[in-house]
């Protein structure tokens, strides 16, 4: 006998909830909204689709490998890094929604060319996070953070970029994984959209994501163990022991791309850590392009993010490329870590 077909509930595509529509509906609820925010998001999503297209056929086009230079962080620049950076800048600069940008790949702020209008927002991004994974077909991502400008008019300034994480008006990331997923928050609710590559649209696939209060997985580069503060070493040893919360050892997962490790942590719970170490005494990850946007998302989903001693979102940046230690994830897992470092 042939099985009875089960059609199930309508898919996100059938419902037509695209990213554009989701943001537009929200804009309608804000009195006096100008559409600038919606426009900025459309530009970011376009850049995401363009980067995804290049990432997914990277081995076939001439985009893999190094450009032979190091970036402001002293790291080797990969070709796809440069391409992703250019795509984001070009997609956003002409829209008239931002007054200045800053990127992990650029030493200084990225001004908006004078022939384009200057808008009220500031955009900061890590165009291609997880660079070391590009050439080996592992998940990589884009991270972005949006602030309102502080300066009154005209070209934006470095000070417009140097704002605390609490001042973000939106943050998000795009994960180029087994599928391409865009996750964003404006501080209330975290929503995820999956790219249908045939339609070329992001459809709502993860509405109102809440991070579990506690997880059962930790994510850290354990190759750095000998370089850590002994209290961090003891904390990781505890997570691996039968004394760990739940009475059994935590599992370990580490991809080495913050976007991918964070996405898993957001959906399944647990904790991701990049502690300070002897080589990176202030931590490795950058406050403005990586830690603050992810902390904004984590808190909006009911999780937490700390340097070990203070809330990441409260850090006042001093320079564009400031770094900070990061412990982020389920609220109870982060609280345990804080207690152990106190």
Q: Are 187 and 168 in contact (CB under 8 A)?
A: yes
C-beta of 161 vs 341, nearer to Mg ion? 161
- Residue 212 Cβ vs ligand AHM, minimum distance, rounded to whole Å: 21
Using DSSP, state whether 51 is helix, strand or coil: helix
- DSSP secondary-structure letter at 288? I
Q: Which residues pair with 271 in a beta bridge?
A: 218, 329
- Residue 209 Cβ vs ligand AHM, minimum distance, rounded to whole Å: 20
Q: How far is CA 86 from CA 47, 110, 156, 247, in A?
A: 9, 11, 19, 49
Q: Which stretch binds ligand AHM (CB under 6 A): 83-91, 129-137, 188-196, 198-206?
A: 129-137
Q: Are 36 and 97 in contact (CB under 8 A)?
A: yes
Q: How many residues bind Mg ion (CB under 5 A)?
A: 2
**Span 5-34, contacts to ligand AHM by CB under 6 A:** none
Give me the helices (H) in 146-203, please: 158-161
C-beta of 216 vs 328, nearer to ligand AHM? 328
**Span 280-339, contacts to ligand AHM by CB under 6 A:** 284
Among 27, 38, 157, 221, binds ligand AHM (CB under 6 A): 221
C-beta of 290 vs 336, nearer to ligand AHM? 290
**Nearest Cα to 181, choosing from 61, 52, 307?**
52
- Residue 293 Cβ vs Mg ion, minimum distance, rounded to whole Å: 11
How does DSSP assign 101-138, residue by residue? Answer: EEETT-SS-EEPPTTS---SEEEEEEEEE-GGGGGGT-
C-beta of 23 vs 183, nearer to ligand AHM? 183
Among 123, 258, 288, 300, binds ligand AHM (CB under 6 A): 258
- Residue 327 Cβ vs Mg ion, minimum distance, rounded to whole Å: 17
**Nearest Cα to 130, choosing from 122, 140, 143?**
140
Contact call for residue 105 and Mg ion (CB under 5 A)? no
Q: Are 174 and 142 in contact (CB under 8 A)?
A: yes
Contact call for residue 219 and ligand AHM (CB under 6 A)? no
Contact call for residue 81 and Mg ion (CB under 5 A)? no
**Span 155-174, contacts to ligand AHM by CB under 6 A:** none
Q: Which residues pair with 171 in a beta bridge?
A: 145, 185
Interatomic CA distance for residues 325 and 221, integer angstroms: 13
Site string for Mg ion, 127-146 (x = CB under 5 A): --x-----------------
C-beta of 81 vs 333, nearer to Mg ion? 81
Residue 75 near which of Mg ion, ligand AHM, none (CB within 5-8 Å, type-dependent): ligand AHM
Residue 287, φ and ψ in degrees, nearest 5:
-60, -55
Q: Are 71 and 126 in contact (CB under 8 A)?
A: no
Hunting for tokens 């490329």 — which residue is that? 321
Contact call for residue 126 and Mg ion (CB under 5 A)? yes
C-beta of 54 vs 148, nearer to ligand AHM? 54
- Residue 278 Cβ vs ligand AHM, minimum distance, rounded to whole Å: 13
C-beta of 48 vs 119, nearer to Mg ion? 48
Parallel, antiparallel or unpaired: strands 180-185 and 190-196: antiparallel
**Nearest Cα to 143, choosing from 260, 314, 305?**
260
- Residue 308 Cβ vs ligand AHM, minimum distance, rounded to whole Å: 16
Interatomic CA distance for residues 335 and 179, integer angstroms: 32
Contact call for residue 132 and ligand AHM (CB under 6 A)? yes
- Residue 77 Cβ vs Mg ion, minimum distance, rounded to whole Å: 12
Which residues contribute to the site for ligand AHM (CB under 6 A)?
Answer: 75, 104, 126, 129-132, 221, 256-258, 274, 284
């Amino acid at each position: 006998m042939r099985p009875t077909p089960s059609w199930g509930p309508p898919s996100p595509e059938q419902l037509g909830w695209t990213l554009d529509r989701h943001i537009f509906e929200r804009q309608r609820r804000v009195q006096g909204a100008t559409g600038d925010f919606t426009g900025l998001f459309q530009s970011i999503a376009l850049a995401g689709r363009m980067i995804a297209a290049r990432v997914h056929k990277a081995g076939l086009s001439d985009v893999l490998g190094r450009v032979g230079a190091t970036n402001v962080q002293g790291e080797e620049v990969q070709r796809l890094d440069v391409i992703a950076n250019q795509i984001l800048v070009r997609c956003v600069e002409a829209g008239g929604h931002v007054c200045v940008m800053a990127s992990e790949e650029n030493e200084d702020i990225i001004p908006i060319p004078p022939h384009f209008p200057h808008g009220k927002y500031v955009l900061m991004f890590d165009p291609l996070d997880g660079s070391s994974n590009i050439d080996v077909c592992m998940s990589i991502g884009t991270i972005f953070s949006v602030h309102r400008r502080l300066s009154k008019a005209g070209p934006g300034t470095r000070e417009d970029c140097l704002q605390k994480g609490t001042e973000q008006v939106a943050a998000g990331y795009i994960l180029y994984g087994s599928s391409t997923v865009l996750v964003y928050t404006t501080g209330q609710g975290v929503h995820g959209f999956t790219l249908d590559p045939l339609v070329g649209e992001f459809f709502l696939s993860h509405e109102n994501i809440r991070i579990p209060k506690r997880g059962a997985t930790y994510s850290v580069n354990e190759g750095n163990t000998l370089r850590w503060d002994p209290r961090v070493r003891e904390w990781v040893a505890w997570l691996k022991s039968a004394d760990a919360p739940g009475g059994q050892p935590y599992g370990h997962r580490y991809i080495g791309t913050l976007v991918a490790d964070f996405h898993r942590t957001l959906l399944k719970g647990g904790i991701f850590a990049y502690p300070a170490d002897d080589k990176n005494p202030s931590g490795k990850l950058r406050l403005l392009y990586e830690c603050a946007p992810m902390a904004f998302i984590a808190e909006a989903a009911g999780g937490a993010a700390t340097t070990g001693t203070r809330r990441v979102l409260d850090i006042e940046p001093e320079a564009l490329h400031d770094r900070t230690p990061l412990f982020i994830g389920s609220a109870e897992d982060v609280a345990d870590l804080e207690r152990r470092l106190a």
